[in-house]
Structure 1
Amino acid sequence: MTGPALSAPRTGPGAGEVDLRHHGDAEVRGAALTDLAVNVRAGTPPAWLKAEIAASLDGLAAYPDGRAARRAVAVRHGLPERRVLLTAGAAEAFVLLARAVRARRPVVVHPQFTEPEAALRDAGYTVGRVLLAERDGFRLDPAAVPDDADLVVVGNPTNPTSVLHPAAALASLARPGRTLVVDEAFMDAVPGERESLAGRVGALPGLVVLRSLTKTWGLAGLRIGYVLADEGTVAELERAQPLWPVSSPALVAAEACCAPTALAEAAAAAEEIAADRAHLLARLGAFPEVAVAGPAAGPFVLVRLPGAAAVRAGLRTRGFAVRRGDTFPGLGPEWLRLAVRDRATTDRFVAALADVLGAAPR
């Protein structure tokens, strides 16, 4: 396999620098569009979860108590409670890591979610980039990560490429003196959560796994996620956290989403997403000008096509929002990210895409 490139980021707002703060919600804010830009599962949160959250509102006069939610997360992953830290979404976890983990050479594997690099930059770090290549299917060769990198951040499955890296490959990056951060925000959308490293926290040196409950359960507005790490790292991150960082409704949601019935529902949703993704990929395969990165394993796919910016604009006029790809380091203006939706929505989207491209699918 050809090794990915290692680069240092450009600094300042000069030409060619990407906007690390651009996210999919900007594509749909204030517009009545069918949303294929944000990777939150459609039709969520479910009614039973909304009822649990609503019931928690009677207790808002009391300060949040995270003990039950922390215990539920620990049980869900088979870990001691002291290896769990609840956060206001995965985004807060990236900020805490940037503040609390002391690193000399942090490296972020791209293309991937941009908040880790943005948080590290805000903390004063110069961040190295390992840029994965389309010719390699955006798969990570562990040898591409510099030996002296003492903080490594990688997504699995990776946003926006939807690539699921083998757990063994990521585990090989762990070593004493290095913090290995694996962002598993979309792992619960993978059937069986195969390739997850959550169960090896505490066994692999320096491993930190991040999880989000906002994607599968539709809780982006509530902000709830968690960190799994060794006891010392959790203690360091907790010291960097403000008091009561997670609200009582978010804590109730975390506990509820870790219940056995909820885990069974999430597992069924993951299987449904996989089937809906297969339908989307089959329909996209009818367009010779559309290249799909992959194989895709997440609730979204990354595609390359000529004139993607104009296609994105044309789709908006036809009622669809998709995520631009040029704000991800390592990608360019010819890339778009598409959230996986139900088959009826996909069929409507494909018809709009065919109209934009000026030709019906073969």
Structure 2
Amino acid sequence: MNTSLLISNVAPEDAGDSPAGRIEKIATQKTLLREHGWEQIIGKITRGRYLPQGIAHCLRLGYKHSVDVVHSISEPIHLHIAGFVVSRVLGVPWVAHARDSMVVNKPGVTPGSTDERLREVVEGFVARFADRVLWDENGAMIPEGYFERTYPEVNQSKFVQLPSIGFVAEKFDGVAPATYEEQTITFAGSFYAGWGEPFEFFDGLQRYLAREDAESVTFHVYGEWGETYQEACEARGIEDHVVPHGWVPHEELVPPLKGSDILLHIGGRDPQHSAGIGTKVYDYIGAQRPILVLGDPSFRVATVVESNDLGVVVPGDDPEEVATAIDHLLTEFEFDPDSSVRQEFSREHRIEALAHELDEAVANAT
């Protein structure tokens, strides 16, 4: 059994104090890596001002567990600085993993700012000195071939795109779907001000419900809700067809997803988000129910859904078109993707690829 030291700003024991999604991903990664011969030890470093103490903590873990590789994962980017130092002191390979973009398409980073320049320095350091540079296929907002084009002088084989974060198959397999008296459309996750909000869907739902041959439909929301959205529903007269549930544990979300007639994803039309896929989309794939995407048809999430026969994509700016898409999914659409699709977008597939890259880093260093 080999051992990796994952340098992260969250750990599984942080439940209640850190983002639940990231904690789950790290915990699941730890479990699944064991199936491929890797034990994952976590060295937690929170804020950048604690970097010296964090590096010392990671070094103690590295010596104690005789780690074979150091695996740093951003954000935040100071974790890669720790990854470099710890790997060099321990004399083991360094795998740097970009969970999110460091520079390109980075929301909240002003072009030309000190923050951007610092990020460029760290990214360049990662590209040149890490033994492997991994980046996520989903959500990282890193364009295809970005590292190769930006750092042509570097050995290109070190840049590796991991498969999608995916869904955990065992959390869906064997779970009974929820049952509903009416046709059901479900949204899970967060809305995003300015580019990922439900108002266009509300317009389309209103238009659909006004049709003489409309099915009786209820829209369930698991996640973010507020007065603005409630008032928008009331203004359109659809409030009796909308049921907000708030946030629920993942195990409570799976049955509604599996029992829904349509699963809604709002991808928007902001080019800055063209390469991203919300992680809830993978849960939608795991639930094996038709997906309705409102957003630019050229965006990656739209391409994944349409090319794999997982659902329907409409831009969202035409309420009548949204209404027609709802009608089509409820009455005509046959959900029958190829059996390989579910495996391709599973977490197990991703961890297998990660384990391979850890193996390669060790093999190439010896």
TM-score under structure 2 length normalisation: 0.28
Larger radius of gyration: 2
Asked which structure has the greater RCO (Cα within 8 Å, sep 6+), the reply is 1
TM-score under structure 1 length normalisation: 0.29
